A and B are shown apart, each in its own frame.
Chain A
Amino acid sequence: MLKTRQSLIFILLSIVFSILAVVLLGFGLLKFQENSDTYLLSDILASGFLCLLLSLFFAYQHKRRLQFKLALRYLSVTVIKCSNSDCNFREERKFKRGDYVFKEVGNCPKCNSPLLIESIYARPLRK
């Protein structure tokens, strides 16, 4: 709840500062192009850049909070292999509770020899 509220504050701040950045930079550039009155022009442009930086900073903070998820970033895979060394049957499936290395899990569909769990490992869901 607290995390969601904080994340919302960051995205709101990011939006507010981007609007300010667009307004200040747009106004400053317009004045510069008109070349009419350059009074406080440097300050306006500097503030615009500052708002742009702040907007990016808050957007980054929001992204960082989104990244903190407790969801696992890998998939546990069970590799099943036929115990007959001449048979090349091999299968990979999602890990099920109760699986362990060298557990017998039925018979080979090719040669009917016992199927064994060869390994269990974590496969990353994304790089």
Chain B
Amino acid sequence: MSINFVFSLINDNFNIDKYIVDLLFFITFAFVITFFNQRIQVWIWIKEAEGALRRLSILVRRAKDITINTVKEVGRPNFDPQPLIDDFLDFFFIEPVSADPTGVLRRLEHILDTRDKRIEKFVSKIAPHAEPTFLPNIEGLLEATLVLNYLYRETRHLLLLGKRTKSVVLIMQLQMQLPLIMRYANAFFGAIDAFSHGKPIGDGVGALVAAKLMHGKPYKEIADKIVASEFEYEGRNLIVLKAKGPGAEIGKPGEAIARIVAQYGGAISRIIMVDAASKLEGEKTGRIAEGVGAAIGDPGPEKFKIEEIAVKYNIPLDAIAIKLSLEEAISVMKKELVEAAEKAVNRILQIVKERVSEGGRVIIAGIGNTLGIAQ
């Protein structure tokens, strides 16, 4: 039937009217493709970017609403915190000059400390009646909203600049970056839910491992927002440390490790660090990888302190990484990560038995945001 149909088109269908219509159609098509091809493409890119911008604006608005409602509900301020929060969303910090690298980490630490103190003070001001353990959660909430707001403003800037200058390159670059921008935005919106309710996040898997090890044992605060517990395990002395939970704290683990090492005069057999690490696409969430070095994802100062003290006293540094994606790192912890934490505990105890001789002393540091995880 189909062969007859094709033949019928060729043989019976030759008609001058149809020929003219086909020719007109071809000329119009060729004209459009030749002269408007790039404009059509740019129009499609602009529409895609506008769609993404609309989604971003919805995310920012929702994040802001959740932040304001949480502050009102938990902090019970006797004023409207909205104008203050709106102002805070423009908060920024300037990285120290790196052209002269001498003492750059010390300067960076100072700026980071100043920034943290400013945010802490601001949160205490807008949420005066919040429980002290919930204050860090509001800080995290504000920071996630701040990032979402930044992504929205940056995308809007690039889109408007591209439209204004009619620059194909700018619009094309923006359109190509959109999948990543939206991925970041969705991840930070996931963090809003976690921080507003105090649910553990994926990044806290290292802290969860340490919490599982030190649970039920006496502990004390040894550095800024860091707690440590010292106990015996099969003839070895374990010093387990993590950020003080259940608030969204990270603390200064580098300083804590340096203090412990100095306290024992360098008599530490090993330092084992466990942290969440970003996985490559295709890798399974919760996979445990083992390596050497300081497993900590801070901007630099804490990592530097750990490496420096380890080098000074020649202490081996073991690293355990629990793999997860960016979205999983700042969203509510997945079941795979809870299971991975249990496996990591067993792996650490095995390392202790295999690599630390009896009577030895080992530091185990669970790195990460301890939101929703006590000790």
- Residues of chain A touching chain B, judged by Cβ–Cβ distance below 8 Å, are 2-3, 32, 35, 38-43, 68, 70, 72, 74, 76, 95, 97-103, 119-123
CB-CB nearest in chain B for A40? B18
State whether B55 touches A68 (Cβ < 8 A): yes
Assess whether B335 is in contact with A39, with CB atoms less than 8 Å apart: no
Please name all residues of chain B whose beta carbon is closer than 8 Å to the beta carbon of A38 when the two chains form the complex. 8-9, 12-13
Instruction: Beyond the given A101-B211, A101-B374, A121-B338, please list 18 additional residue pairs across the A-B interface where CB-CB is below 8 A.
Output: A32-B5, A39-B17, A42-B9, A42-B13, A43-B18, A70-B59, A76-B332, A97-B197, A97-B198, A100-B245, A101-B245, A101-B372, A102-B211, A102-B375, A103-B374, A121-B335, A122-B333, A122-B334
Residue of B nearest to A95 (CB): B199
Q: Which residues of A contact B251 (CB under 8 A)?
A: none
Question: Hey, which chain B residues are within 8 Å of A102, CB to CB?
Answer: 211, 215, 373-375
Contacts of A2 in B (CB 8 A): 54
Min CB distance B370 to A, Å, is 9
Q: For the complex, is B193 an interface residue (Cβ under 8 Å from A)?
A: yes
Residues of B within 8 A of A (CB): 5, 8-9, 12-13, 15, 17-18, 21-22, 54-55, 58-59, 62, 189, 193, 197-200, 208, 211, 215, 245-246, 331-335, 337-338, 372-375
| A residues in contact with B215, CB < 8 Å | 102
Measured in the bound complex, the distance between the Cα atoms of B332 and A79 in whole Å is 14
Q: How far is the CA of A32 from the CA of B18 in the complex (A)?
A: 17
CA A122 – CA B327 in complex, angstroms?
Answer: 13
A-B contact count (CB 8 A): 83
Complex CA distance for A38 and B331, rounded to whole angstroms: 62
B131 to chain A: closest residue by CB: A98
| Contact in complex: B333, A120 (CB < 8 Å) | yes
Chain B's closest residue to A72 (CB) is B193
Say whether, besides A39-B15, A72-B193, A100 and B335 are in contact (CB < 8 Å).
no
Minimum CB–CB distance from A68 to chain B (whole Å) comes to 6
Are A120 and B375 in touch, CB under 8 angstroms? no
Residues from chain A with Cβ under 8 Å of B200 in the complex: 100-101, 120-121
CB proximity of B66 to chain A, nearest CB, Å: 10
Report whether B9 and A41 are in contact in the complex, using a CB–CB cutoff of 8 Å: yes
Cβ contacts under 8 Å, B331 to chain A: 122
Question: In the complex, what residues of A have CB within 8 A of residue B193's CB?
Answer: 72
Residues of chain B lying within 8 A (CB to CB) of residue A43: 18, 21-22
Give chain A residues whose Cβ lies under 8 Å from the Cβ of B335. Answer: 121-123
Residues of A within 8 Å of B372, CB to CB, are 99-101, 120
Most A CB contacts (10 A, CB to CB) among B54, B59, B332 go to: B332
Closest residue on chain B to residue A104 by CB atoms: B374
Residues of chain B within 8 A of A68, CB atoms compared: 55
Chain B contacts for A120, CB-based, 8 A: 199-200, 332-333, 372
Q: Which residues of A sit under 8 angstroms from B246, Cβ to Cβ?
A: 100-101, 103
Q: Which residues on the B side are within 8 Å of A41 (C-beta)? A: 9, 13
- What's the least CB distance linking B282 to chain A, in Å? 19
Least Cβ–Cβ distance between A9 and chain B, in angstroms = 13
Q: Taking CB as reference atom, which chain B residue is nearest A75? A: B332
Residues of A within 8 A of B18 (CB): 39-40, 43
Give the shortest distance, in Å, between B276 (CB) and chain A (any CB). 14
Report the bound CA distance from A110 to B211 in whole Å.
26
Q: Which of A3, A32, A70, A98 meets B62, CB within 8 Å?
A: A70
Chain A residues whose C-beta falls within 8 Å of the C-beta of B58 in the assembled complex: 3, 70
What are the 9 closest A-B residue pairs judged by CB atoms, nearest first?
A100-B246, A122-B332, A102-B374, A101-B373, A119-B338, A121-B335, A100-B372, A121-B338, A38-B13
- How far, in angstroms, from A46 to B299 measured CA to CA in the complex? 60
Docked CA distance A32–B208 (Å): 71
Q: Which residue on B lies nearest to A42, using beta carbons?
A: B9
Q: List 15 A-B contacts (CB under 8 A).
A: A39-B13, A42-B9, A70-B62, A72-B193, A74-B332, A95-B197, A97-B198, A100-B245, A100-B373, A101-B211, A101-B372, A103-B246, A120-B199, A121-B200, A121-B337
